[in-house]
Structure 1
Amino acid sequence: MKTSNIPSKNSRRPRISRLCLLNKTKDDENSSNVKNLENQLRKLKIDQNNRIKNLQDRLRSLLLHHKNLSGGQIDAKLDGLPPEDPSSLPNGNRTAEDIGRQKTAEILHHPEELLKAFIYELEAEKLNIQKDIRLGILRMEQRLKEEAEIKFRVMNDAHERQIEKLNFIQMEKLRDVEAKYEIERTELLAKIEYLTDEVDTLREFRDQLSLDLSEARDKLIFQSDTVARSEIKRSEMAKELSELKNYKEKFQKDMRMLESLRRDLTRTKEANHNAKDQLIRVINERDELLLEVERLHQQLVESNKQLYEKVRDALSQD
């Protein structure tokens, strides 16, 4: 019965070795995947930080450009924002320019607040420019009316031509100003739209990154569970391998005993063969002796018979 189980036990050794090799390969692949995933996450974080930094630099440059165009009105508008607690400021005394710079520096670290402040600044600047234009027109009309009233009686025709000329020049200037303002406004709106798209892209990128991180976390948890199950299988296979080794040692011991019994059986067979030959010779000798005894017995019977007849004849003659 032991010899019939030996092939099945021995055939399991290659399978165990293949499973061990497969588990080792899977462990290497899992570690490689984890390293690749960490590198990808690191690259994504660096890329996101670079894009945010570039966006902040662009917003800073736009603010600086707009500040130069508007004659430094950004700081004045920033002063209109809700101030901080004076007790939190050094000595409780800060100038409007320092407060504006501090608010600008704080807003620059928050892209969404910077975008809101930037849009607020554009709308306020637009209203201020329109107000200045209306005020300038009103003042100009008032001045022209006053000049017309003063010089109307002296040179009505000359004043009318001069007023028409001045009106034409002022209208051309106003058209130029309005055209420049419209161009700048269009450019700023395009830049705001571009920055809005960039912010939306960054939000989508952040959401996708969060989703990728969640999937990677789930994958790592699954891989850790797989590794744990592999460790359990490996320990079970190690235990089974130890049992196979013990069985092998026991089997080798039984085989040595069987070989010893086989040698004893061979010697016993040889002794039996020799004893059989001797027994055959003894049987042959016995048969020969039996034949000799039978022959002698016949001779003895014949001689006894002859002797009996002789005695009987002798007795009968007497």
Structure 2
Amino acid sequence: MFVRSHDFLGMQGTSHTWRPTEMYGTGWPSNAGGRLVGSLSSLPYALAEAEQNFLIPAQTQALIWGDLVPQMILSAKIPRWWNVTASQVHWVGLHLRYGREMAAGSAFDAEQRAQFLAALALFAPPARTNQVARQLEEGNAKEALDHITPSELFSVAREVAPKRKGDTSCLLAEIQQLAENSKDVNYAAISHAFGTPKPTLTNSYEPDMMSLRTFPALMGYSSRIMAESWESNTLYWAALADELGLTPAQLNVRIPEWTQKLVEQIFASHLEDWPALLKSLRQVGDDVRKNARASAADTKAALQESPNR
């Protein structure tokens, strides 16, 4: 984004000195023009907040969540991937797959279901935990997983994995093996590498995973706290990249692209319609997988034709 100017003092008669960065004067004629005012303390969020105005929803009358979208854009564009290793990306992918495996097994094993739900209750609201419990009791693992966020799956896998001593899961064995053999594979490093900035909750832009329950809207309005409690995007993108065999460096470009599509495809009916956000997230993932398979098929066909020429 091109920034025309940054006014640290603000207009005469206003008090913007040392205040958080904000856009000022948007919509004015070009001789005055919108510009950034205030300090540089929240510049990344201010730029993300301005960028959301250029996104076009795919659905008519779809909501652009005023606080959530800048947080998602900010998290997507942090230059984190140069310092992330392939082992860390794979470890995140293993956790999400193990969480899904646990959920699927819970539909048939009452003891495993109790353990899974006890862990889920630590990270998901009680109403949604009860909904997932009913669906698992009925054997509807797919329906249950549709109501569990990627961050909750990761947290459940982290919580349950050390307690599953007799588990013969290949995913669990690989999780443990990676943790033992790689110095950069541990939960503290993963929190820093795949977390989100939380300037409101922690007064810092340092990425962190707090594994909080998703905050509700405040008196019917969205809030920065609600937005900062959403930690699923980066984990989901990392698991998707692991599935497709992408390198961490490629995610510097891919994740901002995927996030833009995610935002534009959200079709929520109200500010707490988290299923709509999850649906959009998974829809983008499905589209990426479909395109990857089509590209692989085209490449294979081209390679098969080349020896015959």
What range describes the TM-score normalised by the shorter chain of this pair?
Answer: under 0.3
TM-score calculated relative to the size of structure 1:
0.26
TM-score calculated relative to the size of structure 2:
0.27
Which of the pair is proportionally richer in helix?
1
**Structure possessing the higher radius of gyration over alpha carbons:** 1
Which of the pair is proportionally richer in strand?
2
